[in-house]
Amino acid sequence: MSWLVTGGAGYIGAHVVRAFREQGIDTVVLDDLSSGRRTFVPEGVPFVRGTILDGALLEDAMHEHRVRGVVHLAGFKYAGVSVQKPLHTYEQNVTGTARLLGAMQARGVDRIVFSSSAAVYGTPDVHLVTEDTAKRPESPYGESKLIGEWLLADQARAADLRHTSLRYFNVVGSGTDEIYDPSPHNLFPLVFDALLDGRTPRINGDDYPTPDGTCVRDYIHVADLAAAHVAAAKRLDAGEPVEPVYNLGSGDGVSVGEIMREVANVTGIAFEPEIAARRGGDPARIVASGELAARDLDWRMRHSLAEMVATAWSARRAASA
């Protein structure tokens, strides 16, 4: 029997698949390749090309590959773009999740680990975000992730479903040079692309009430994130109790300025970032506690900031070689 990883050809999903394989757990990947890469899926892992909106395809894949659980990462990921594409975002992230849950019920698949997001919190007014911090999403993307959590909880009350949702913060780094972050919106790819193109990276605002004036965010390594998914799946397999949601945060943020300095140090490319105006809606600081995940999912920061930058840079250079 296997675990189905939706979105398993994406940057995060492909790391999750590899983490499952390292623990000897069979997986099958379903991905429409709208943002994923077929080359990110390891050789020997069954691959189904298609959308989570196709309930019949989902049911067939679950039946053919004897799926017992699902890691659900497929969806539309871009919070900023979701403001211009709310209907597309809701179709992919809400309707798609509902279709997936329906297929799971039809095939008797009773456990799921859901990819949620720090975007459910919006702009928090606390120094350290916990799972109980007020949810005030500020984009269709953040709203869709919160609705996804509600869908799981509602389905669990109506049917035999064991579930947990993992709220990601800023995912960076790479566990292998074979996988890099291709997002056109994330900080690390933007900085690396600028350096490779001979341009100077940019910081949006240096007058925030933070130690160096730049925004502070919670950066976590993608390999640590992937390991948490395996731990969650194992608890569900064993029938052990899990919380409905877990923050995967470091408890200690890093500023954009610190990121820039570490990038210059790791790459050997000296630069002084350009300073642009603040972007509207950017909070000064978002940092989360990972205490619950540390208790239940062996969550911890296994990688330093230097390792986050170095592994991401290595993978990005390998991709352009």
Check residue 282 and give its pLDDT: 78
Other Cβ atoms closer than 10 A to 95? 13
- For the chain, give percent helix, strand, coil, nearest 5: 40, 15, 40
pLDDT in tens, 228-271: 999 999 999 999 999 999 999 999 999 999 999 999 999 999 99
User: What are the pLDDT digits (tens) for 169-219?
Assistant: 999 999 999 999 999 889 999 999 999 999 999 999 999 999 999 999 999
CA distances (Å), 158 to each of 155, 268, 277, in order?
5, 56, 49
pLDDT at residue number 280: 72
Q: What's the pLDDT band for 279 if we cut at 50, 70, 90?
A: confident
What proportion of the chain, given as a percentage, has pLDDT over 70?
100
With H, G, I as helix, E, B as strand and everything else as coil, classify residue 105: helix
* Average pLDDT value for the chain: 96
Identify the pLDDT of residue 184: 87
Question: Measuring CA to CA, which residue among 49, 56, 12 is closest to residue 28?
Answer: 49
Length of the chain: 321
Contact call for residues 167 and 118 (beta carbons, < 8 A): yes
Give me the phi and psi of 280, to 5 degrees please.
-60, 135
Whole-Å CA distances, 151 to 95, 96, 145, 292:
10, 11, 10, 22
Is 67:48 a contact under the CB 8 Å cutoff?
no
Region label for 31, one of left (φ > 0), alpha (ψ between -120 and 50) or beta (otherwise):
beta
Other beta carbons within 10 angstroms of residue 218's beta carbon come to: 25
- Over range 25-39, report the average pLDDT: 97
98-118 pLDDT tens trace? 999 999 999 999 999 999 999
Determine whether 141 is an active site residue: yes
pLDDT at 283 over 90: no
Q: Residue type at 264?
A: A
The residue from 11, 90, 121, 141 that is catalytic is 141
d(CA 273, CA 67) in angstroms, rounded, equals 48
Q: Residue 320 — pLDDT band, cuts 50, 70, 90?
A: confident
d(C-alpha 288, C-alpha 247), whole Å: 7
pTM of the model: 0.96
Paired sense of beta strands 202-204 and 67-72, if any = unpaired
Domains and CATH numbers, the chain: 2-171+219-248 (3.40.50.720), 173-217+250-287+300-320 (3.90.25.10)
Distance CA 247, CA 169 (A): 8
Classify strands 254-255 and 216-217 as parallel, antiparallel or unpaired. antiparallel
**What is the rounded average pLDDT of the residues 20-34?**
97
